[in-house]
Chains A and B, each alone.
Chain A
Amino acid sequence: MAESENGQRGAAILLRGARVIDPARAMDGPGAVVISDGRILACGLASGFGADALLGPDVTRALGRLAAEGRPAREVDLPAGWVVAPGFVDLHAHLREPGFEAKETIQTGSRAAARGGFTTICAMPNTHPVIDSRATVEFVQRAATEADAHVRVIAAISKGEQGAELSEMGELAEAGVVAFSDDGRPVSSGKVMRHALEYAAPLGLPIVEHCQDEELVGAGVMHEGAAATRLGLKGWPAAGEVVMLARDLELVRATGARYHVAHLSVAGAVELVRAAKRDGQPVTAEVTPHHLLLTDDWVAGERTGPLAEALAALTGEPLPDGPRYDANAKVNPPLRTAADCAALLAGLLDGTIDAIATDHAPHTQVDKDGEFGEAAFGITGFETALAALLALVHTGKLPLATLVAALTVRPAHAWGLDAGTLEPGAPADLVIFDPEEQWTVDPARFASLGKNTPLAGLRLRGRVRQTWLAGRKVYDAGETAGE
């Protein structure tokens, strides 16, 4: 087995030849990484001169020490065009276990994560039963011991995500959860949100809100606007998100508790987060790849917005139309307008938005097969995130290092996770990707049980080649290419 020699004592590994990007240390250039005992032993850029020109002084020194200990590093030569980066950190994923194993399991979800370059994934608690007790947290933790990613647990804010009584946050914190959220729905009661923030404050864990005024949103199934009007579908207004966020931010100001906004989708909400940060409030925020890249027109099969423009610019021809009433473009919060996409990108560029999180939301075929109004909300995200986001890099709208930071150190910092850097001593979680390789999205080949992506059939540029978890190679595109 390849794995048994990887990263075990006595078998240090040197990854060399590729571009190393570690935004935590502002590192970006040709370099090398040494892995040993499941941790990063050294990581550095080529110095360009002298005996250690190719590896840099830190790596050269580490290799010398290993040689002296009689266990020379196994060398892995990587193409110069490839990128080695810290494994991606996803603050928002739905692994569906326990309860909805037909949609996804911890095993299939973490395998999908590995294929997408994610090594730390935070599992949302809207399972069945809801993750709102020590027993359910420990169930997930046990099921994840063999997983292909570090699975961190987010527990519910309220018992059963009912929005009424608080969950036992103290015990949940002791059990190792990383945040609290009733995701899938908002905490509608201002009183409950206030007490959740107060109670969680001394625990030091963030409250994560799915910002949505449920009365304003009502039975909406997509963004309220021209596309919904043409399609005859009930829309949900942008104000539904902004109103809830504004309420919460006042409560954060009053309580001083840590607060994280899940899946920002509208320009007005970005502006509120920007103002809150300017004010020094303990607020962080995430955006999904689909809200950055896709618009409400995708529901009608019309491909507009940043991804469509970028792919058209790269290939010289417009994207073909998709299906009308595409249930795979039905997501909560909904895909918004091109102006919202632009505001989200601006928020990412100026640091208002801390993290890109997938909101990986797998569903079965049947969940998505009926009429649009009846279909489930959600887009499966792990396996397309990087390639889709790279379209912004290829068209010069987003620096690669900024993208990698939003997938690594910034989410890790937002929630204080031990991840997201190649610093010596850090877990040897890393992703190796080829930013140029082209491939066609074929959901049938996903590791995820959820095939629900609006990107099916599109040709994307950029592909994860390898993913390493605690020094162990958990994914290698070269080995699974023939699958």
Chain B
Amino acid sequence: MTTTLHRGLAPAETADALPRRRDLIDLDGWTPDELQALVNRAAYLREALAEPTRRFDALRGLLVVTLFYENSTRTRVSFELAARRMGADVASVAAASSSVTKGESLRDTVETLQALGANILVVRSSQSGAPDVIARHIRGAVVNAGDGWRGHPTQALLDLFTMQRHLGALAGRRIVILGDILHSRVARSNLWSLTAMGAEVVLCAPPTLMAPDIAAAYTTRPIPGTGERRRVIVEPRIEAALEGADVVMALRLQRERQQAGLLPSLREYTRRYGLTTERLALANPGALVLHPGPMNEGVEIDPAVAHGAASHVEEQVSNGVATRMAALEMIGRALAVEAR
């Protein structure tokens, strides 16, 4: 008998249950209760946003700065919209021009933002661990908007939200992540949250795109709060992986992987690992198809699947704003407690 069995979406009108956390760097330390509380709050905010007059002010008087060392308009706009709807002032710094950030320049940037009075820094970087380093140098809170191959926690939270909206509790569900796991921060953050909610995560990729020792990497880290073992399976055969799946999350395949010698060709990848209608038929009836975007239609996902009935890709984008509002609200509340 586990507590996760009955866990599921229950829109939370008050924010009181939100986790007491002042940074959002990754989800490795999150308990199932914390994840559920954040998703519940996102569910409530999603409904409330439908009323055009509703205003939220958890971030009133706070300055949220987006610092993007890597270009991603979608994610940046989603955060900025979420921050404004929560009542924050928003500024954005596009640092993409200096892709290489040596110790001094990183510190300089962060100290400048500090001087400007940034309360919450939303960071996107091509370097794994950049948010951790920044958090050591800044008084304000840090939100990870994607770092290298390491994490993208708000994406994982919005994925969890989207799955729960259609499936309810995830305990015992089979969730397949399909594609370039090796280079995927989305896969890594999702591994923390989905396994914590009791799902079995099946990772499917050509062996050259699978991260080394990935099953052990996660199963040796028990779920915070429950102490239970995470369930992760590596299955390089796509048919075996999709058999009985409740969710299939396809990942973007970048063309550089072929040049890097990791793949013979995109054509062969599509033949062997592309998500097609026939392959999707191996999954459970009603299985969801997700994709963190942007999709390469015709490469990792067939257009018929990308726009078919099972696809929830557009909903992921709209759930993203509510999820980021909930995450920022969590931090705003923690900063308010600190200030008292």
Task: Report which A residues bind B (CB closer than 8 A).
Answer: 224-235, 237, 323-325, 365-375
Contact = CB atoms under 8 A, between A and B. Distances in A.
Interface of B: 28, 100-107, 125, 127-130, 132-133, 136, 147-151, 185, 188, 211-214, 216-218, 220-221
Contacts of B132: 323-325
Contacts of A229: 188, 211-214, 217
A476 B279 CA distance: 74
13 contacts: A225-B212, A226-B214, A229-B188, A229-B211, A229-B214, A231-B128, A231-B129, A232-B151, A233-B149, A323-B136, A369-B107, A371-B128, A373-B127
Contact of A370 (B101, B148, B212, B217): B101
Q: Main secondary structure on chain B at its contact with chain A? A: mixed
Nearest to A227: B217
Given A235-B212, A371-B106, 6 more contacts: A226-B216, A325-B129, A325-B133, A366-B104, A367-B103, A374-B103
A93 to B, nearest CB: 24
A225 B211 CA distance: 9
Contacts of A225: 212-213
Contact of B149 (A232, A365, A374): A232
A235 B150 CA distance: 13
Given A225-B213, A232-B188, A375-B103, A370 B220 contact: no
Nearest to B181: A229
A369 B213 CA distance: 29
Contacts of B147: 232
Contacts of A366: 102-104
B217 A371 contact: no
Contacts of A370: 101-106, 133
B150 A232 contact: yes
Nearest to B103: A369
A450 B103 CA distance: 16
Nearest to B260: A218
Nearest to B183: A232
Contacts of A325: 128-129, 132-133
A365 B106 CA distance: 13
A273 to B, nearest CB: 25
A224 B217 CA distance: 11
B261 to A, nearest CB: 10
A324 B107 contact: no
A230 B220 CA distance: 11
A373 B213 contact: no
A232 B189 CA distance: 10
B133 A371 contact: yes
Contacts of A233: 128-129, 148-150
Contacts of A365: 103
A324 B102 CA distance: 18
Contacts of B127: 371-374
B129 A369 contact: no
Given A231-B150, A324-B129, A369 B217 contact: no
Contact of B106 (A234, A323, A324, A369): A369
Contact of B129 (A224, A226, A237, A372): A372
B102 A232 contact: no
A213 B285 CA distance: 49
A39 to B, nearest CB: 47
B103 to A, nearest CB: 3
Contacts of B28: 230
Nearest to A237: B212
Nearest to B125: A371
Nearest to B25: A324
Contact of B188 (A226, A230, A368): A230
A375 B103 CA distance: 8
A134 B218 CA distance: 54
A356 B127 CA distance: 34
B121 to A, nearest CB: 15
A199 B102 CA distance: 41
B128 A373 contact: yes
A6 to B, nearest CB: 43
Nearest to B128: A232
Contacts of B103: 365-370, 374-375
A232 to B, nearest CB: 3
Contacts of B218: 230
Contacts of A231: 128-129, 150
A371 B102 CA distance: 7
Contacts of A367: 103
B295 to A, nearest CB: 22
Contacts of B150: 231-233
Nearest to A372: B129
A227 B217 CA distance: 7
Residue among A230, A234, A370 with max Cβ neighbours from chain B (10 Å): A230
A231 B189 CA distance: 11
| For the complex of A and B, 8 pairs with smallest distance between CB atoms | A232-B150, A369-B103, A325-B129, A232-B149, A370-B103, A371-B127, A226-B217, A232-B128
A323 B214 CA distance: 22
Contact of A224 (B101, B105, B212): B212
A372 B216 CA distance: 23
A373 B130 CA distance: 9
B213 to A, nearest CB: 4
Contacts of B104: 366, 369-370
Given A369-B106, A371-B127, A372-B128, A232 B213 contact: no
Contacts of A232: 128-129, 147-151, 185, 188
B133 A373 contact: no
A121 B299 CA distance: 57
A228 B133 contact: no
Contacts of A374: 100-103, 127
Contacts of B133: 325, 369-372
A237 B221 CA distance: 22
Nearest to A232: B150
A96 B220 CA distance: 41
Most buried by A among B103, B104, B132: B103
Contacts of B128: 231-233, 325, 371-373
